[in-house]
Structure 1
Amino acid sequence: MTEAVATKDTAQHGLTAHSDGDWDNRVPVQTRSDRPKSTDVADFPQVTGREAVWKFTPVAKLDALLNGALDGARLPVSVSEAAGVSSEWIARDDARVGRAGIPEERGAAAAWGAFDEAHLVTVASEERRTVVVARDALGTAPRAGHTIIEAAPHSTGLVILENSGAAQLSENVEIVVGDGAKLTVVSVQQWDDEAIHLASHYASVGRDASLTHIVVSLGGGLVRLNPSIHLDHEGANGEALGAYFADAGQHLEHQVYLDHDAPHTRSRVTYKGALQGEGAHTVWIGDVLIRNNATGTDSYEQNRNLVLSEGTRADSIPNLEIETGDIAGAGHASATGRFDDEHIFYLQSRGISEEEARKLVVRGFLLEVIAQIGDEATEERLQAAVEAELAESVR
């Protein structure tokens, strides 16, 4: 296995390392693509909070998930019925485990080593099907989970992961999209206020296939969900969308990675968040890699944050790594700010109160993402949840 402290070998012929710890030959990882990968937690060092991948996270709250024993038994889940969609539990040594990706950090590796069985959801219908996978009643004991979502070639489907109730969960979610398939995966976090959720999502998108990955984080004391989408076949398309609303004392973190590793691939990343209340903290890190062989790539990522009150913090870091000049386009953007005064004034001039005008702005800001889910019942429920957040205080 790779040594946990990731380094690059910079030795050159004729050069001799100094005797002061050999630091000349140990260069820290600078880019997402160079991170070490392993399913063995022992290959990753103890987390201190000073590491680039953890520096924004309140790691003291994660000790049980990073260093303790995790219950890897089946999670209590319910799966809605849909024609052409199957659900089963498979052994951890099944060949279908590990196809989409493997951990890049300690939390995911700890969960990978602890789960007993993986929950496999397979979409095989060419007609669009919707299936809801609900997870609740997980309790407060530290748990590990592993979910695999597979779309067969030329299938079309929407899979919604609904998370609610109490939890202290660390999990890996694999998404395998077959050639020509069109899959939307939605992960909704509406946990209880004290819940802790670590999740790493890995996706592999086939030739001329399309994946829309949507994250909606509204509940939970600490939620850290990191999707990695690998466009490793020609013509693959990946969209990563997210909406989040952080209240007082809540930490919501998303680290998004789009890896273009084939010609004529396309990606779009849009994450939008709102923050209100003392100590509300959001983190968004977006990494896009366009590899040397990914000619004709078209990529753009953006993050927007709307600050609703004092005492909040939004960290937003877009990164773009390009290894070839033969691309269709690439760009990134990030913005964090308060209400647009002119927008509020315009609404007030139309007879709308200032409080209601602010609510309308926030509602439209977040629902732009929620409306992309494609399931009316889920969209209406999440719209109501946003309304409830706004009803508490927007001032």
Structure 2
Amino acid sequence: MSLLADTSSRQAHTHSGETMVPDASRGERTRSWEVAEFPMPQGREEDWRFTPISRLTNLLADEASGATLEWTTHLPEGVTLTTTSVEELGRDALPKPIDRPAALAAAHGGGISLVDVPKEHELTEPVRISLDGTERQIVNGHLVVRVGAFSSATIVLSHTGSSDYNELVTVIAGDSSKVTLVTLQDWQDDTHHLAQHDVVVGRDASARHIAISIGGGIVRLNTNASYTGPGGSFEGLGVYFADAGQHLEHRLFVDHEAPHCRSNVEYKGALQGETAQTVWVGDVLIRAAAEGTDTYELNRNLILTDGARADSVPNLEIETGEIVGAGHASTTGRFDDQQLFYLQSRGIPQELARRLVVRGFFNSIVQRIGDEEISEKVMAAIDEELEASSGAMA
């Protein structure tokens, strides 16, 4: 029997809308390559109730547009980029889509862009893939990154420009490998981006997924982690900053089906401006066979102005008591005036003090990105947002 927990207790709860806990196990939800398996969402479904469906009708239609984004790549020596298909790789060799946008990306993406890092290969510089939308049009894309056993690699995936984009990304971390995927959503404000990112962690492998969302009208990113053998470790980190009119949604599912594996999830977000909205949903499933699991998830939100809304829903589902630890926490609060007063009392101007407090809020995650270029870009974007609305903050 599963145990579903909320932020304040590890006791069992009734499965009702009031507790914000789904009726079915997270592991029982539909996975399929077939678009028909995912009806057009109406906004009342558990997975879609926070998402502004009315603004996504065209993007969710089962139609192939033939449009593409502009790709710019930097591949270190030994790394290859080829085009393949689900059939060539094997329909059971990759995680299947979990919702309609991911199924559309697979069905209408025109094949899979496959990045291969050979086994026993340590990259000294990141693989960089930049996707740019030059005009507002519907695009579907499917990317797979395979990192061989005993290899080490960092992949930086950047999204810019304007588009309506369905995306499916899979990262396969081979046994004893070390892999980091950094995904940056820095779109124009009219962009709608619906994505599913899967991270498959091999035996004794270490994988990190780092999501940074600072642009786009609607960004909805599903990140799923699974394990193919014992000893694996997954870290999910996220930074997001929503401005007026933006909807930034991050959903995570860590599926502990192998024993003696670890996971740690930490996301931080800030919101400012009328109608700014963020959503964070963190689901962790510890299956009966996953003895020795150690997992924790944390989400913190900082509301900078009136009119912004942050939804945060952490869930734990535990099927075995033989674990090292399992916990979660979620906090949403306003700007800390005491911190601001402390800095001002030492001669720091008010607007600079606000900026320092917000930068400090994000710093614990930004400094762990591991890519100086991306880290500087994130902090610069945060400064730009704060400067543009300095007079509107509460």
Q: Same fold (TM over 0.5)?
A: yes
Where 1:166 maps in the other structure, the secondary structure is: strand
Count of residues in correspondence between the two structures? 368
Instruction: Report the counterpart of residue 7 of structure 1 in structure 2.
Output: none
1:39-118 alignment, distance < 5 Å = 39-72=33-66, 75-95=69-89, 99-118=93-112
2:271 to 266, 272, 275: 275
Distance change >3 Å, CA 56–CA 254, structure 1 → 2: same
Q: TM-score under structure 1 normalisation?
A: 0.90
What amino acid sits opposite 1:121 in the alignment? Answer: V
What amino acid sits opposite 1:234 in the alignment? Answer: P
**Unmatched segments (≥5 aa) in structure 2:** 1-21
- The answer as to whether partners of 1:73 and 1:117 remain within 8 angstroms in 2 is no
What per-residue deviation string (whole Å, max 9, x for no partner) do you get for residues 97-149 of structure 1? Answer: 66341112222122222121111112232244311100003521211100001
- The answer as to whether partners of 1:98 and 1:174 remain within 8 angstroms in 2 is no
CA distance in 2, matches of 1:183, 1:211: 5
Instruction: Tell me which moved more, 90-99 or 224-233.
Output: 90-99
Instruction: Tell me which moved more, 367-376 or 44-53.
Output: 367-376
Instruction: Report the counterpart of residue 163 of structure 1 in structure 2.
Output: 159
CA distance in 1, matches of 2:298, 2:385: 24
Instruction: Report the counterpart of residue 384 of structure 1 in structure 2.
Output: 380
- The answer as to whether partners of 1:97 and 1:148 remain within 8 angstroms in 2 is no
- The answer as to whether partners of 2:69 and 2:133 remain within 8 angstroms in 1 is no
Instruction: Report the counterpart of residue 238 of structure 2 in structure 1.
Output: 242
- The answer as to whether partners of 2:67 and 2:137 remain within 8 angstroms in 1 is no
1:184-223 alignment, distance < 5 Å = 184-223=180-219
Q: TM-score under structure 2 normalisation?
A: 0.90
CA distance in 1, matches of 2:36, 2:374: 40
**Unmatched segments (≥5 aa) in structure 1:** 1-27
What per-residue deviation string (whole Å, max 9, x for no partner) do you get for residues 20-75 of structure 1? Answer: xxxxxxxx852311101111111122210000000000011111121241335654
CA distance in 2, matches of 1:313, 1:347: 27
- The answer as to whether partners of 1:65 and 1:110 remain within 8 angstroms in 2 is no
CA distance in 2, matches of 1:80, 1:120: 14
Distance change >3 Å, CA 141–CA 73, structure 1 → 2: closer
Where 2:321 maps in the other structure, the secondary structure is: coil
Answer 1 or 2: higher relative contact order, Cα 8 Å, separation at least 6.
2
Distance change >3 Å, CA 370–CA 61, structure 1 → 2: same
Aligned-pair identity (%): 47
- The answer as to whether partners of 2:35 and 2:62 remain within 8 angstroms in 1 is no
Where 2:214 maps in the other structure, the secondary structure is: strand
CA distance in 1, matches of 2:259, 2:150: 20
- The answer as to whether partners of 1:232 and 1:260 remain within 8 angstroms in 2 is no
1:315 to 311, 315, 322: 311
CA distance in 1, matches of 2:75, 2:202: 26
- The answer as to whether partners of 2:280 and 2:312 remain within 8 angstroms in 1 is yes
Asked if 1:231 is matched to 2:227, the reply is yes
Asked if 1:365 is matched to 2:361, the reply is yes
What amino acid sits opposite 1:302 in the alignment? Answer: L
Instruction: Report the counterpart of residue 15 of structure 2 in structure 1.
Output: none
CA distance in 2, matches of 1:378, 1:44: 35
